[in-house]
Amino acid sequence: MSDTLGVGLIGTGYMGKCHALAWNAVGAVFGTKIRSSLVHLADISEGCARQKADEFGFKKSTGDWRKLIEDPEVDVVSITTPNALHPEMAIAALEAGKHVWCEKPMAVQLVDAERMAAAARQSGKVAILGYNYIQNPMIRQIGEHLAAGTIGQVNHVRIEMDEDFMADPEALFYWKSEASSGFGALDDFVVHPLSLLLNLLGTPTRVFAHQANPYPSRPTREGTHREVETYDIANVLFEIGNGISGILAANRSAWGRKGRIAIQIFGSAGSILYDQERMNELQIYRAGEHLAGYTTILAGPKHSPYDHFIPAPGHGLGFNDLKIIECYELIRAISGENARVVDFDAGLKIENCVHAMARSHAEGRWIEITNA
């Protein structure tokens, strides 16, 4: 295998820049033997692509993503476009013999997610999804404590994900309010808690969901109003096959919440608390230590891979650092090593859960998930 990995990037918005930063930094942070070469960038127009290629450090640019896919210098394709575009791009890249790093969710339609997973299996290439929250050293610590039985047998989980970027009723209508983007909070937000569950405890086997929309319409740039076609709020009861019950709650219009993923895990001998807005710490309560209360664990070099970034505790990692870790895990997977990633098959489990939740809301009943 070559010691250089040719990178193509499709999409240059918020997540596109995150991918570019990760590809630029991963070699320096982790000292990888395989180094990334920023080869080709695609966006909606040649002018925009050229500007972003210059900013991010890509050699070539194009307004046609298919030309990027066809480029023989490109070994791996980062896909950071709107959800509805993921299937065609990912499948084309896999069929062209490229590895794929695609942002979540996989697809709007379950059948397209199934096609993506099948294409990945058939290609023999590495295909992963952008679930970077699982890379946090504190989430890894939670997993270690659960495996060690620190809080005993887990019996209940609550996860909340809240932001306020859609809290203003006067905010303009945009693509995340279109049905073509998916269900709304379910496939925009709930997929992240599901990725955490997948890595910590397993995916739900049974769900009961309800969705809500606080603002039925939003203003447009043209001065009219347009009906909102997605749900900004989702609440889900769930069960996991090993007897764990749980609650997932997501809200894209929660004033005051900026990037909250609050996890509470309760067991027979204690509990664990974590909040993404304080992403460099977690709290553990051990039964019998009633006067001591919760113990706060602050992230530091002993919580790998924090040590690759900072040699001292308490200084803190950030969102983009998690993306760098995810990029490193992708390179490990491409190298044939065991890697902490959500590949397309694992991602399909998440998609099955999301679509079961949507069906539960539509039918007003519990839905069993047989392939969890």
**Residues 226-266 pLDDT 10s:** 999 999 999 999 999 888 999 999 999 999 999 999 999 99
CATH 3.40.50.720 domain residues, the chain: 4-132
Q: Please give the class, per CATH, of domain 136-315+344-368.
A: alpha beta
- Residue 372 pLDDT level (bands cut at 50, 70, 90): low
The confidence band for 290, taking pLDDT boundaries of 50, 70 and 90, is low
Beta strands in the chain (DSSP E): 4-10, 35-42, 60-62, 76-79, 99-102, 127-129, 154-162, 206-212, 217-219, 225-227, 233-240, 244-251, 260-267, 270-275, 281-286, 295-298, 342-343, 367-368
Per the CB < 8 A criterion, the answer to whether 270 and 284 are in contact is: yes
* Residue 129, token pair as written in the block: 């999804």
- The candidate with the shortest Cα–Cα distance to 327, out of 340, 336, 316, is 340
Across the chain, mean pLDDT equals 96
What percent of the chain clears pLDDT 90, i.e. is strictly above it? 95
Fold entry, domain 4-132 = Rossmann fold (3.40.50)
87 Cβ neighbours under 8 A, 6+ residues apart: 106, 107, 109, 112, 113, 115, 116
The region of weakest confidence among 152-156, 178-182, 280-284 is: 178-182
Residue with tokens 């499709």: 10
Distance, in Å, from the CA atom of 300 to the CA atom of 280, rounded to the nearest integer, reads: 8
Number of CB atoms found within 10 A of residue 242's CB: 11
Task: Report the largest interatomic distance among the alpha carbons of the chain, rounded to a whole angstrom.
Answer: 64
Identify the pLDDT of residue 241. Answer: 84
| pLDDT score for 193 | 97
Question: What does the alpha-carbon distance between residue 92 and residue 83 come to, in Å, rounded to a whole number?
Answer: 15
Higher pLDDT, 292 or 35: 35
Tens digits of residue pLDDT in 344-357: 999 999 999 999 99
pLDDT attached to residue 47: 96
CB atoms within 10 A of CB 114: 17
User: Quick one: average pLDDT of 273-290?
Assistant: 92
Rounded CA separation 266/109 (Å): 34
Question: Where does the chain hold its CATH 3.30.360.10 domain(s)?
Answer: 136-315+344-368
Q: What is the mean pLDDT of the segment spanning 89-114?
A: 97
Question: What pLDDT digit, counting tens, does each position of 183-210 carry?
Answer: 999 999 999 999 999 999 999 999 999 9
pLDDT tens, position by position, 48-86:
999 999 999 999 999 999 999 999 999 999 999 999 999
Which of 370 and 71 is assigned the larger pLDDT?
Answer: 71
Q: With 0-12 CB in 10 A as exposed, 13-18 as middle and 19+ as buried, what is 224? A: exposed
Nearest to 107 by CA among 85, 132, 133: 85
pLDDT at 291: 66
**β-sheet bridge partners, residue 265:** 157, 272
Q: What percent of the chain has pLDDT over 70?
A: 99
212, 230 Cβ separation under 8 angstroms: no
pLDDT recorded at residue 285: 95
Structure confidence at residue 242 (pLDDT):
83
Q: Which residues contact 175 (CB under 8 A, 6 or more apart)?
A: 82, 181
DSSP conformation class of 186 = I
| Chain centroid to CA 120 | 18
